[in-house]
Amino acid sequence: MRLIRTDWTIDDINPKLKQLLDTLFAEVPSGVGRGGLTRLSDSEMKEILAKGSKWSLEQGYGTKDDLATTEDYGSMKEADPECVSTTAIARGKPQLGTLGAGNHFLEIQAVDSVYDEKTAAAFGITGKGQVTVMVHCGSRGLGHQVASDYIRDMEKKYGFADIPDRELINAPFQSELGQKYFKAMCSGMNYAFANRQMIVHWIRDSFKKVMGSDDGMRQVYDVCHNIGKIEKHKVDGEMKELCVHRKGATRSFGPEREEVNELYRSTGQPVFIPGTMGTASYVLVGTNESEEKSWGSTAHGAGREMSRAEAIKRYRGETVARELEQRGILVKAASWKGIAEENIPAYKDVDEVCRVSNEAKLGKLVARLVPLGVVKG
Amino acid sequence: MKYEYLPHTADVKFKAYGKTLEEAFSNAAFALSNVMVETSKVEAVVKKDIEAEGEDLPSLLQQFLEQFIILLDTDNFFLSKIRKIKISNRKGKYSLSAVVMGDEARNYETIGPQVKACTYNSMFVKQEGPQWTVQVVIDI
């Protein structure tokens, strides 16, 4: 998940919103079976898996400041491309620089409320009406293949007779297979970093084409989710090194954690919780309390509460898009069915989710963002 | 009924049926592909050979279905027809070989999200009287 702040206001963007959305839709490949714009060799893929955003920067995608505001500076050192199968690499090759489909999105938003002015200012958020851009996508098919490959290997090595669900297969972290999987997962994170870095580059290109410049388009932060990370936490009063798995969760470290990028070490890390295409998304800041309560984690999204099949039965994509347009929100998607599936009532109330996160002190409210235009995969 | 989609909050769950194991596996491949595209509209112009192996029937099914996800990502392939499919069991190990036909995915309008993985979640393969039933949850 990535957020970019801009110097524009709603009034600057609104007259060109449709053109901007069309340009973004054309520049950032999305949807099922629509490949990326790059043609990569095996050796380039291995470099991407080893270096992450550093590779993207070397290729001219993005700026040094983008890396300074990316979790782990956009590059997992533990990554080892040799631990990633040729099938996973083959799946990743045509997808680099693509948004994908499902709940992945690219959204032009406006700041609607600021709850904590000081922290907002540190994040580059200046006030109501300011335009931001949010991107949600990850390691695409490559990450899924890494999981499939290692589930198979772990079953062979450790068996699955004692576990309630075969998806819960595991290996001791320090075992040879456990370490190999961790290195492969870190390679997947690097792929996701590089992927989002390229998309951000094309977002800037799109704004440059339509708005005439990309000045002021600074990345606020890039956070990972659905990952395992090695971190030190207090367990029964004693600091221990743990592997923290965050699935459906995002890191929410408070001030003074050494893992947090230097730029945000005094404030705590930025945290983003997106809603749906018709509701708000939130910027929060990580807390020291979350380190004690939830190993430094909070929710990574509103979370679905209606099945996709049910949403398709109840809503028509065309109608949903028209209703959103009447409220001033433009939607562009590769498939109408995709819009129906991601309709507002399919998700929990994001305002409530973030209120709870704030009250439980897992992440404190900084600003509320509302959608202006959405590209759905 | 060849297959039916079942309620699931975040992913897609389905059951597929067949008089033989092969038929149930084939129907599962169509249940998976029809999440993304209307397979009845896909032309049978490209041929692919599929091989899968498994220690047991669920792992064979998982690996078989995963081949369609991989073929879409790597070869831009959408399924149209399954020409041949044979499952055999030798010394407790299962193997599957199939010949499938389809076309380039980019030529077709997609109707839903991309299937990203075939999971083991709630998976079963069972024979009840004259009918085989398989249940699968796919990650989208």
The one-letter amino acid at B33: S
pLDDT digits (tens, 9 = 90+) for A188-203: 999 999 999 999 999 9
Q: How many domains, in total, are found in chain A?
A: 1
Identify all chain B residues contacting A95, using CB atoms and an 8 Å cutoff. Answer: 73
What is the overall mean pLDDT for chain B?
95
Percentage of residues of chain B with pLDDT beyond 90:
88
Whether B110 sits inside 8 A of A31 (CB atoms) is: yes
3-state secondary structure of B47: strand
Nearest to B120 among A101, A167, A312 (CB): A167
pLDDT digits (tens, 9 = 90+) for A32-77: 777 666 778 999 999 999 999 999 999 999 999 999 999 999 999 9
CATH topology of domain B3-139: Archease, Possible Chaperone; Chain: A; domain 1 (3.55.10)
Nearest to A304 among B9, B66, B121 (CB): B9
Looking at the complex, report in whole angstroms how far the Cα of residue A372 sits from the nearest Cα belonging to chain B: 23
Query: pLDDT band at A118, cuts 50/70/90?
Result: very high
- Burial call A189-216: b when 16+ CB within 10 Å, e when fewer: bbbbbbbbbbbbbbbbbbbeebbeebee
Residue B98 has pLDDT above 90, yes or no: yes
In this structure, of A47-61, A117-131, A311-325, B77-91, the range with the lowest mean pLDDT score is: A311-325
The pLDDT of residue B103: 97
Mean pLDDT of A245-255: 94
Q: How far apart are CA B72 and CA B117, in angstroms?
A: 12
Write the CATH number for A172: 3.90.1860.10
Please state whether A100 falls in left (phi above 0), alpha (psi between -120 and 50) or beta: left
The pLDDT of residue A371: 96
The pLDDT of residue A334: 75
- Considering only CA atoms, which of A301, A324, A325 is closest in space to residue A134? A301
Whether A141 sits inside 8 A of B73 (CB atoms) is: yes
pLDDT digits (tens, 9 = 90+) for B107-136: 998 887 889 999 999 999 999 999 999 999
Mean pLDDT of A312-341: 86
One-character DSSP codes across B82-122: EEEEEEEEETTEEEEEEEEEEEEGGGS---SPPP-EE--TT
Whether B8 sits inside 8 A of A34 (CB atoms) is: no
Q: Where are the domains of chain B?
A: 3-139
Nearest to B112 among A147, A305, A335 (CB): A335
More confident site: A341 or A9: A9
The pLDDT of residue A122: 98
The pLDDT of residue A314: 86
Whether B120 sits inside 8 A of A166 (CB atoms) is: yes
pLDDT digits (tens, 9 = 90+) for A219-246: 999 998 889 999 999 999 999 999 999 9
- Burial call A81-107: b when 16+ CB within 10 Å, e when fewer: bebbbebbbbbbbbbbbbbbbbbbbbb
Whether B9 sits inside 8 A of A307 (CB atoms) is: yes
Q: How far apart are CA A201 and CA A354, in angstroms?
A: 30
| Window B:54-93, CB contacts with A under 8 Å | 55, 58-59, 62-63, 66, 69-70, 72-74, 76, 78
Nearest to B114 among A101, A167, A310 (CB): A101
Looking at the complex, report in whole angstroms how far the Cα of residue A246 sits from the nearest Cα belonging to chain B: 17
pLDDT digits (tens, 9 = 90+) for A152-186: 999 999 998 888 888 899 999 999 999 999 999 99
- Which residue of chain A is at minimal alpha-carbon distance from B65? A148
Q: Strand pairing partners for A228?
A: A245
Judged by a CB distance cut-off of 8 A, whether residue A307 touches chain B is yes
The pLDDT of residue B123: 95
The pLDDT of residue A37: 67
Residue A309 has pLDDT above 80, yes or no: no
Query: pLDDT band at A258, cuts 50/70/90?
Result: very high
Identify all chain A residues contacting B78, using CB atoms and an 8 Å cutoff. Answer: 33
Tokens representing B81? 């027809």
Find the distance separating the first CA and the last CA of chain B, reported in whole Å.
24
Identify all chain A residues contacting B62, using CB atoms and an 8 Å cutoff. Answer: 148
The pLDDT of residue A340: 83
The pLDDT of residue A87: 96
Q: How far apart are CA A82 and CA A91, in angstroms?
A: 16
pLDDT digits (tens, 9 = 90+) for A9-27: 999 999 999 999 999 999 9
ipTM: 0.90
Whether B74 sits inside 8 A of A93 (CB atoms) is: yes
- Considering only CA atoms, which of A251, A375, A377, A372 is closest in space to residue A6? A372
**Structural domain of A226:** 2-376
Report, in this order, helix, strand and coil percent for chain B, each rounded to 5: 25, 45, 30
Identify all chain B residues contacting A94, using CB atoms and an 8 Å cutoff. Answer: 73-74, 76
Please state whether A274 falls in left (phi above 0), alpha (psi between -120 and 50) or beta: beta
CB proximity list for A336: less than 8 A, separation 6 or greater: A316, A317, A318, A321
Identify all chain B residues contacting A333, using CB atoms and an 8 Å cutoff. Answer: none
Residue B15 has pLDDT above 70, yes or no: yes
The one-letter amino acid at A372: L
Q: How far apart are CA A177 and CA A155, in angstroms?
A: 11
Whether B8 sits inside 8 A of A100 (CB atoms) is: no
The residue assigned the tokens 């907002």 is: A120
Q: Which positions of A are catalytic?
A: 300
Identify all chain B residues contacting A146, using CB atoms and an 8 Å cutoff. Answer: none
| Window A:132-191, CB contacts with B under 8 Å | 140-141, 144-145, 147-148, 151-152, 155-156, 165-167
Query: pLDDT band at B60, cuts 50/70/90?
Result: very high
Judged by a CB distance cut-off of 8 A, whether residue B40 touches chain A is no
Tokens representing A97? 């620089």
Nearest to A307 among B7, B109, B110 (CB): B7
- Considering only CA atoms, which of A281, A31, A269, A271 is closest in space to residue A140? A31
The pLDDT of residue B113: 80
3-state secondary structure of B19: coil
Query: pLDDT band at A342, cuts 50/70/90?
Result: confident
Judged by a CB distance cut-off of 8 A, whether residue B5 touches chain A is yes
What is the overall mean pLDDT for chain A?
93
